Structure 1
Amino acid sequence: MSKLAIITGAGQGIGEGIAHRLVKDGYAIAVADINDETAAKVAVDLTSEGYQAKAYHVDVAHRDEVFALVENAVADFGDLALYVNNAGIAFIDSFVDSDPDDVERLLDVNLKGTYWGIQAAATQFKKQGNGGRIVNAASLAGYEASALQSAYSASKFGIRGLTQSAAKELAKDKITVNAYNPGIVRTKMRDAIDEKTAAIKHETVAEQQANCLEEIAIGREATPADVAEVVACVARLVSRTEKDYVNRAFNM
C-alpha cells in the first residue's frame, strides 16, 4: 500500500520536482496547488506513468482549506506519511516602495501557510498515532537576507523559527519537522525575480543572472530535482536514531 505525501505548491517548479521524485519511493501524491490547471497536469503526468496521484485545490493562506486538504487526501489515499509545506510566493521591490497588499499576501502564503500546514499535518499524525514527517520550504534568504526581498526574507527567517519550534514540540509524538534551504533554483518564479531585479538595477536579465552565478561556488544554479533529492533524503530517515539526528541537523 502506498504512503501518502501531500505537497503544496506542487503544480510547478520545486513542488513538481518533489512530486516526481517522491513517487519513486512509493508515495501516493496529493498534488496541492492554488492553480487547478497546473496541479491537474502534474497529477495526470504521474498517473500516466503508473503512479498514484490526485490534484487538490488549496490556498494555503486559508487555514480551513489546508485542514480540508489533509482530510480529503487521507480519505482518498489513507494515512498521511509526509507533508511538504512547499507553496510560496515572492515579489521584488524596494523596502520603502513595497505595496502593503503584496506584503500581506506574501506573509499569508509563505509564513501563515506553513504554520497552518504544520498544524494540519500534526493534527492528523497525532490522530493516526504512529508519527510522521513534515518538511518546510525555507531558503538561503532565510539565512542571509537579500536586498529588494524584505518580505520574502522575513517570511523565510520565520519559517526557520516555526520549523525549530515545531520540531522540539512534536518530537515526543515521533513527528519530525525539518526545512530545506535552497539558493537559486531555476523556476518560473526565479525568472520573474530576475526580470524585476534587473529592471530595478537597470541591468539586462543576462547580467543579473551572471552576477548571481558568480556567488555560487559550484558554478551552476540548482534545479527542482536537486531540491527534491534533499526532501527525499529527509523522508527516508525513519529510525529513532535517524529521526533524532534529522531534527538536530536540519534545523540550524
Structure 2
Amino acid sequence: MTTAHVTGAARGIGRSIALRLARDGHDVAVSDLAGMAEALDDTRKEIEATGVRSVALHGDVSDPASVRALVQDTATELGSLDVFVANAGIAQTKALLDVTPEEYDTLHAVNGRGVFLCYTEAARQMIKQGTGGKIIGASSIAGHKGFGLLGIYSSTKFGVRALTQAAAQEWAEHGITVNAYCPGIVDTQMWVEVDHDLGEINGVGEGESMKAMAEGITLGRVSTGEDVAAYVSFLAGQDSNYMTGQAALIDGGMLFV
C-alpha cells in the first residue's frame, strides 16, 4: 500500500485528485487551510468510504514549518510518503498596472514558494525512506502562455514548470520522478471567481467570460476536476515510471505547444 498527500484538497481539483487516488488504492492524507476544516473533513470521510485510510491535516503551504509538519505527520500517521501532489494555489485577475507589490508577493508565496517547499520537503522524506517516489505539482495553461489580466498568476505557473524540470534532474538518482499538470478552464470555485472578476473588468455578466473562453476549447466543453485527476492518477502510478520533468496540458485542446 502506498501513501499519497494532496494539498488544497478541501474542494475543487484537489478534492477530485484525492478521491481518485483513493479509488486507485492509495492511502491519502489531505491538507488545506484551517479555515477549510469542515470541507476538508468531508473529503477525508469520502476517502475512507472507499476502503483506504486517510487523515486530514491543516497547514499553510507558504510556511516552511507548516509544510514540514504536513510531510512528517503524513509519514507518521499513514506509515510513509510515496506520492506528493502540490496542488494548493490561488489566482488573481487584475491588470498588471494595478497589481501591488504585496499582491505579487502573496501569489508567489503560495503558488511559487508553496510548491518549492512541498517539493523539497517531500523529496527529503522520500530520500530518507530510500524507496523513491512521485512528486507532482500544479502548473496551468498559464504556465505555457502568459494571459492578460492573469499576469502574476501566469508567472507563478511558469515557475512551477521550471522548478519541476530542475527537481526531476536533481532527484532522479533517488528514484523520484517529478512532473506537473497543466489544466485549462476547470469548473471549480476558483474559475467562478475568475469569471466574476473578468466580468467586472470587461463589463459583462456572470458566466459570459467563461463562456467566451470555452468557445476556444477544441473538445467543446470546460473540464471537470475528474478530468485533471485522471491524469494525476497516471503520474502517481507505475505506468509513468519513465516520465519525469514534464508539464502536460489537460485543457481539452486550448493550446497546442
Coarse TM-score class (shorter-chain normalised) = over 0.9
Gaps of 5+ in 1: none
SS in 1 for 2:96: coil
1:169-184 to structure 2, matched below 5 A, reads 169-184=170-185
TM-score between the two structures when normalised by the length of structure 1: 0.94
- Matched residues in 2 for 1:197 and 1:136: separation? 26
1:224-239 to structure 2, matched below 5 A, reads 224-237=225-238
The CA deviation at 1:37 is 2.1
Gaps of 5+ in 2: 249-256
Greater displacement, 147-156 / 36-45: 36-45
- Residues 247, 48 of structure 1: CA spacing in aligned structure 2 closer, same or farther, 3 A cutoff? closer
The CA deviation at 1:102 is 2.1
Deviations 1:79-137 (A, max 9, x none): 11100000000011110111332221111000000000011110001100110000000
- Matched residues in 2 for 1:94 and 1:180: separation? 26
Matched, 1:151 2:152: yes
SS in 1 for 2:167: helix
- Matched residues in 2 for 1:98 and 1:177: separation? 32
The CA deviation at 1:249 is 5.1
1:1-252 to structure 2, matched below 5 A, reads 2-34=1-33, 35-237=36-238, 242-244=240-242, 246-247=243-244, 250=247
Greater displacement, 228-237 / 43-52: 43-52
- Matched residues in 1 for 2:114 and 2:16: separation? 20
Greater displacement, 184-193 / 29-38: 29-38
Name the amino acid aligned to 2:202.
K
Asked whether the 8 Å contact 2:187–2:222 carries over to 1, the reply is yes
TM-score between the two structures when normalised by the length of structure 2: 0.92
Name the amino acid aligned to 2:244.
N
- Matched residues in 1 for 2:201 and 2:233: separation? 37
Asked whether the 8 Å contact 2:139–2:247 carries over to 1, the reply is no
Deviations 1:14-58 (A, max 9, x none): 000001100111111111101222211111222244331111001
- Matched residues in 1 for 2:43 and 2:75: separation? 19
SS in 1 for 2:98: coil
- Matched residues in 1 for 2:167 and 2:226: separation? 27
- Matched residues in 2 for 1:250 and 1:143: separation? 9
- Matched residues in 2 for 1:99 and 1:14: separation? 28
SS in 2 for 1:7: strand
SS in 2 for 1:55: strand
Name the counterpart of 2:253: none
Name the counterpart of 2:254: none
SS in 2 for 1:204: coil
- Residues 193, 250 of structure 1: CA spacing in aligned structure 2 closer, same or farther, 3 A cutoff? closer
Asked whether the 8 Å contact 2:167–2:245 carries over to 1, the reply is no
- Matched residues in 1 for 2:128 and 2:236: separation? 20
